[in-house]
Amino acid sequence: MSLLEHVDSATNLAKNNELQLLVFKVSEAADSPYYAINVFKTREVIESSRHHLTLLPGNHPLLEGTIILRNMQLPLLNLPLWLNIELSEQEIKKSNILVCDFNGIIIGLRIMLAHRVVKKNWSQMHAPDSYRVNNDGIVMNDTRLEDGSLCLILDYEKLLSEVIPQAMVNTDLSPSNLENIEIPTKLKNGTVLIAEDSKTAQNHLRKIFENSNIKYKIFDNGKLLVDYIAGMNLPENIPAVITDIEMPEMSGFTVIQELKKHPSTKNVPIIVNSSMTGDNNKREAEVLGADGFIDKTKSHDIIPLIASVIANHQTK
């Protein structure tokens, strides 16, 4: 039975501010650290030796080529190389491929072995300042395994934006899609609050709002955003909140729960902006009270979506 057959549903995890991680290694070296990825971004783990690799000359050096999996062509990304780890020929033969789903785009990540699936509370996920020194960092946050080992969660969105940009964002950041949109006064005069821990996604959202001349404030996780709102005099004047789902300290699902249960913020529009675009996640966000859901490849349309949600609130 595969590791991923023991995964809980997104609904149960969301209610408890929890997540499940697939823990893996990218090298056989004794000092090779553990890495992890949210299981809801994964599909399966397959043996690389069973799948023919077709080389793609002239592409990004981290894009090894493509494999065929059940009549589907998958780009294979060299995750060890991104981590400055050179695998030997023997390691490559023994390696596995982690099949992942980002925004509906299926890719393969070369890894050495899948270790296990672990359940964690988002409060057990930490993002030290050392990971955020500049935009070149590739570690998002970390957690501890049962034996005390440090387990690193990588900025997979950064990897994809470098190698397969279309898997993450639309590069057209012009405000041309606002020409026929009436921007509500509340949005023109207010400040949109954003919870997002990925530097790549932060930079993308920053450009969108600046190009649209709309004020915004970004927080590195959901808890920082919720704490900031708790200290506001008139939080009901917030034009909108945008939140990712995966964040240390507090997930986007918990952000929704926290804001919707308080009278002063229950009517503040909340938009989920995530690369976890599965139906279960969209459904859970809606059940918890989110007013909209947009995947990160379409975040250039987030201003029209906010305007539409605000207009709908005002007509109720």
The string of pLDDT tens digits covering residues 177-202 is: 667 778 889 999 999 999 998 888 88
Average pLDDT, the chain: 87
3-166 is a CATH 2.40.50.180 domain: yes
In the chain, the DSSP E strands lie at 18-25, 34-38, 42-47, 54-55, 63-69, 72-77, 96-102, 105-111, 113-121, 139-144, 150-154, 191-195, 215-219, 241-243, 270-274, 292-295
* Every domain of the chain and the residues it spans: 3-166, 175-315
pLDDT of 256 over the 80 cut: yes
The per-residue pLDDT for range 20-61, each reduced to its tens digit, is 999 999 998 888 899 999 998 899 999 999 999 998 887 899
**Conformational region of residue 193, where left means phi above 0, alpha means psi within -120 to 50, and beta covers everything else:** beta
pLDDT at 279 over 90: no
pLDDT at 144 over 50: yes
Alpha-carbon distances of 245 from 17, 175, 275, 295, rounded to whole Å = 10, 25, 9, 11
Are β-strands 191-195 and 215-219 bridged in parallel, bridged antiparallel, or unpaired? parallel
Predicted confidence at residue 171, as pLDDT, reads 47
pTM: 0.81
pLDDT of residue 176 exceeding 70 = no
For 131, other C-beta atoms within 10 Å of its C-beta total: 18
Question: Residue 23: what pLDDT?
Answer: 97
**The domain over range 175-315 is classified in CATH as 3.30.70.640:** no
